[in-house]
Amino acid sequence: MTTAEGDAPLAHAAARVLFANWTGGYTVPSRSLYPHQWSWDSAFIAIGLRHLSPRRAQRELESLFGAQWADGRVPHIVFDPATPSDAYFPGPEFWRHSTAAAATTGLVQPPVHAIAAWETYRAAPDEARRRGFLPRMYPRLVAWHAYLTRCRTPSTGGGLVAIVHPWESGMDNSPSWDAPLARVEPVPAGTVQRRDLQHAPAADRPTDTDYGRYVRLAADYRDLGYVDKLDALDFVILDPMTNALLAAAEGALAEIAAEMGADPAPHRARSAEITDALLTGLYDADEGLAFPRDVRTGEPIHHRTVAGLMPLLLPGIPDAVLQTVLQTGLGASFELGRTALVPSYDLTGPAFEPGRYWRGPGWFNTSWLLWRGLVDRGQTGVAARLRERMLDTARRCGFREYVHPITGEGHGVGDFSWTAALTLDLLHRRT
Ligand code: 2M8
């Protein structure tokens, strides 16, 4: 796989970011704002890194799974012991948990890892076989998905897995979480140290009140010993992106199992089960997209966000649903393929803010996921337009964390790893 000649400067610039953010064993999302290893970031990073160094991409995932808990969960942050503990808040002394490998948080992030492992393997199968990459990763990936199924399936959730903190959605500050968060008492202002505001403008980041609520939820979960007593937690949500990714990741696990001579059938069956549960429990045919469901109230949360388009990732999506969700994506709320990046929140919605973290800006990872879903579902025309817009934006924004969805103006930090990694992946893969 090679990039076209004219794209060489962009590919080199992306590679420079990934090399600069490589720590020796994994890649930090950003040297300033996020100086540790993040779970789903590492999956997206591996997807790009495999084009530069398949071995580093393998190590990226192996290093994350080296901090996997005994119960199978893959922590959302693995703390770098060499980075001062006050460089990021909440740091290791807040979370108070260490595995044999490192201090970690007790939360998780969306399960993109099996997809990343399969893509990483396919970039250099011989090297991967020599290093025993799949035999090492497969049992760990199985244990990770088993944790979600065993511990995160609420009895009233129709078989879907739940998240227990906005940070677990990856779309931390989404308007979808406003109503469930309103039930949460923020910790007193003085207990939150906003390290993030030293690296990004306050207008691009969550408010102090929301941060106080994030910290309260995390402290409550920690004080329960990170035991998933779903009835005792305040924030328990069935999120469409998490579940669509789990269905897609089970599809990737089926490919991995088949490649290793193991039985792929249980993974295909699980993928189909989650697909059915998502279409029954979260998809709204009249609105043309999926909504999260609040397990505490049993009600859907009616904000239109990019997570609602993620049924496009489902390997077994029925054609009628595919066409409907695609029309929603192409419509006024998301303008898919016509904006700089796919907006994280409805362009016409009441809570839309084009510059604030997950409340409207476009992000490379969610846009890439939709691109990838469109390619896999045979929607190559729309996928090609989306890819062009993403590459234009990457050329103009300097690998920023997120951008104004229409103008492409950069927000958040610069030299952001998954922006660089996914740009590189797009350059290497024609639609
Ligand atoms: C953001 O989340 C972290 C907390 O995990 C933060 O705001 O401090 C989110 O965009 C999340 O999706 C991402 O994984 C993380 C690191 O890039 O940053």
323 Cα: distance to centroid of ligand 1 (angstroms): 32
pLDDT at 1 over 50: no
Q: Is 94 left (phi over 0), alpha (psi -120 to 50) or beta?
A: alpha
Per-residue model confidence as pLDDT tens digits over 318-329:
999 999 999 999
pLDDT at 41 over 60: yes
Catalytic residue (one of 127, 172, 220, 234): 172
3-class DSSP state of 410: strand
> Is 210 a pocket residue for ligand 1 (Cβ < 6 Å)?
no
**Binning pLDDT at 50, 70 and 90, where does residue 398 land?**
confident
Cα four-point dihedral sign 50, 55, 59, 62: positive
**Binning pLDDT at 50, 70 and 90, where does residue 199 land?**
confident
Say what the pLDDT of residue 389 is.
97
Active site residue 401: yes
Catalytic residue (one of 41, 204, 250, 401): 401
Say what the pLDDT of residue 4 is.
59
The one-letter code for the residue type at 309 is L
Tell me the pairing of strands 289-290 and 402-403: unpaired
Cβ 206 vs Cβ 351: under 8 Å: no
Residues 6+ apart with CB under 8 A from 190: none
Per-residue model confidence as pLDDT tens digits over 365-376:
999 999 999 999
> Is 29 a pocket residue for ligand 1 (Cβ < 6 Å)?
yes
CA atoms within 13 A on the CB side of 12: 5
Closest residue to atom 13 of ligand 1, CA basis: 170
29 Cα: distance to centroid of ligand 1 (angstroms): 9
**Binning pLDDT at 50, 70 and 90, where does residue 346 land?**
very high
Q: Is 408 left (phi over 0), alpha (psi -120 to 50) or beta?
A: left
CA atoms within 13 A on the CB side of 124: 18
Per-residue model confidence as pLDDT tens digits over 90-129:
999 999 998 878 999 999 999 999 999 999 999 999 999 9
pLDDT at 140 over 80: yes
Question: Which atom in ligand 1 lies closest to the alpha carbon of residue 206?
Answer: 7
Mean pLDDT over the full length of the chain: 96
182 Cα: distance to centroid of ligand 1 (angstroms): 21
> Is 41 a pocket residue for ligand 1 (Cβ < 6 Å)?
yes
- Percentage of the chain modeled with pLDDT above 70: 98
Locus of tokens 């049924």: 311
Q: How far is CA 184 from CA 156, 178, 191, 225, 402, in A?
A: 22, 10, 16, 19, 28
Helix, strand, coil distribution of the chain in percent, nearest 5? 50, 5, 40
pLDDT at 5 over 60: no
Say what the pLDDT of residue 202 is.
87
Say what the pLDDT of residue 176 is.
98
> Is 40 a pocket residue for ligand 1 (Cβ < 6 Å)?
yes
Q: Where are the alpha helices (DSSP H) in 103-224?
A: 113-123, 125-131, 133-151, 166-169, 178-182, 208-223
Token pair for 198: 């030293």
**Binning pLDDT at 50, 70 and 90, where does residue 192 land?**
confident
First to last CA, the chain: 13
77 Cα: distance to centroid of ligand 1 (angstroms): 9
What mean pLDDT do residues 229-233 have?
94
What gap in Å lies between CA 252 and CA 288, rounded to an integer? 26
CB atoms within 10 A of CB 58: 26
pLDDT at 244 over 70: yes
pLDDT at 392 over 50: yes
Question: Which atom in ligand 1 lies closest to the alpha carbon of residue 107?
Answer: 5
What gap in Å lies between CA 247 and CA 273, rounded to an integer? 8
Question: Which atom in ligand 1 lies closest to the alpha carbon of residue 39?
Answer: 14
> Is 172 a pocket residue for ligand 1 (Cβ < 6 Å)?
yes
What mean pLDDT do residues 299-304 have?
98
Per-residue model confidence as pLDDT tens digits over 8-30:
999 999 999 999 999 999 999 99
Token pair for 133: 């990459």
Per-residue model confidence as pLDDT tens digits over 172-184:
999 999 999 999 9
> Is 38 a pocket residue for ligand 1 (Cβ < 6 Å)?
yes
DSSP annotation of 185 = P
The one-letter code for the residue type at 212 is G
Pocket test residue of 38, 113, 245 for ligand 1, highest count of atoms within 8 A of CB: 38
